[in-house]
Amino acid sequence: LKLRNLQIGYNVPENVVMKIKMERLRFYLSAQNLLTIKSKDFTGVDPENPNFGYPIPLNLTFGVNVSF
């Protein structure tokens, strides 16, 4: 079982954004290769891993989208 991509975001309410003279404000967090669960009985190689044994890296990205 793998969780490959996940993105969560929050749009700041319009009444708060207008007070700080912006049109839109959004915060988000994105993750790639977040979770891998495998059986203890499985001894084969992961076909999605071309390096045969090296772990696939976890990537986290945090961002802010602002419109004025």
- Tally of residues, the chain: 68
Amino acid at 38: K
**Banded model confidence at residue 11, pLDDT cuts 50, 70, 90:** very high
What is the distance of C-alpha 58 from the center of its chain?
9
Q: Which three-class secondary structure state does DSSP give residue 24?
A: strand
CA distance 49 to 39: 17
Q: What tens digit of pLDDT does each residue of 17-63 get?
A: 999 999 999 999 999 999 888 888 877 777 777 666 677 889 999 99
Is the pTM above the cut of 0.75?
Answer: no
